[in-house]
Amino acid sequence: DADVTQTPRNRITKTGKRIMLECSQTKGHDRMYWYRQDPGLGLRLIYYSFDVKDINKGEISDGYSVSRQAQAKFSLSLESAIPNQTALYFCATSDFGQGEAGELFFGEGSRLTVL
Amino acid sequence: QQQVKQSPQSLIVQKGGISIINCAYENTAFDYFPWYQQFPGKGPALLIAIRPDVSEKKEGRFTISFNKSAKQFSLHIMDSQPGDSATYFCAASGMDDYKLSFGAGTTVTVRA
């Protein structure tokens, strides 16, 4: 089983719908992140959380919200999806101070299409 | 505005050739510079990383060169193999929080 699991892997939805992307991890890491990948723009940070009670905005948080339900779970919500939120979304974890400092461990991605 | 500028967007190299990807940054607070490798349908994975106290780091066929004064760093893939075909992202972060800023990515295709 993957250490960082994202669901759903693919989702097609319509403009205005509420969407939730879920992430769970078995790595025991405190830090969790949501990134968005777009062609030609790389990976951009949406939100991050350094522990269960900590939520921080990233570069592109507008139109998104997150919830850290437990150390192992971090969900991303689009309250009212719009077409320019069509992208590949990645959840990642890291364990500050362990191993290669700052290494991110990514899930396999959730491809979201907003029509 | 991207804090890390990466080039080229894509490159094609023959098997056995050298692939070179370049990145530049402006934020002098950056002091951790990793490269991530992403295969189609997968998430990125750490390939190699460097800190500014060294000018070069080599792991197998992959080498990072770092020029602190120019605020540039590059990835060299020696003896490129078809299995190296992937998208490569450079990134940078400060020591305190490891919030990585990624480059736009380079798609490398190695022809057999």
Cβ atoms < 10 Å from Cβ of B69: 5
- How many H-runs (helices) and E-runs (strands) does chain A carry? 0, 11
CB neighbour list of residue A97: distance below 8 Å, 6 or more residues apart: none
CB neighbour list of residue A52: distance below 8 Å, 6 or more residues apart: A68, A70, A71
Say how many CB pairs under 8 Å bridge A and B: 60
Mean pLDDT by 10 residues, chain A (115 residues): 91 97 95 94 94 92 96 96 98 73 88 97
What single-letter amino acid sits at A98? Q
Residue B92: its pLDDT value, please?
Answer: 92
Cβ atoms < 10 Å from Cβ of B28: 10
Handedness of CA B79, B107, A61, B43 (dihedral sign): negative
Determine the residue among B35, B98, B101 to mutate to test chain A binding: the one whose Cβ has the most chain A Cβ atoms within 10 Å: B98
Question: Residues of chain B with pLDDT > 70: what percent?
Answer: 96
Which residue among A48, A100, A106 places its CB closest to the CB of B99? A48
Whether B2 sits inside 8 A of A92 (CB atoms) is no
Q: Tens of pLDDT along B79-112?
A: 999 999 999 999 998 866 667 899 999 999 999 9
Rounded Cα distance, A38 and B10, in Å? 15
Classify each residue of A76-97 as buried b or exposed e, where b means 16 or more C-beta atoms within 10 Å of its C-beta. Answer: bebeebeeebebbbbbbbbeee
Whether B43 sits inside 8 A of A48 (CB atoms) is no
Burial class (CB in 10 A: 0-12, 13-18, 19+), A11: middle
Residue B91: its pLDDT value, please?
Answer: 94
**Which among B42, B31, B28, B37 has a CA at the least distance from the CA of B103?**
B37
Whether A43 sits inside 8 A of B6 (CB atoms) is no
Q: How far is A90 from chain B (nearest CA, A)?
A: 7
Q: What SS3 class is residue A111?
A: strand
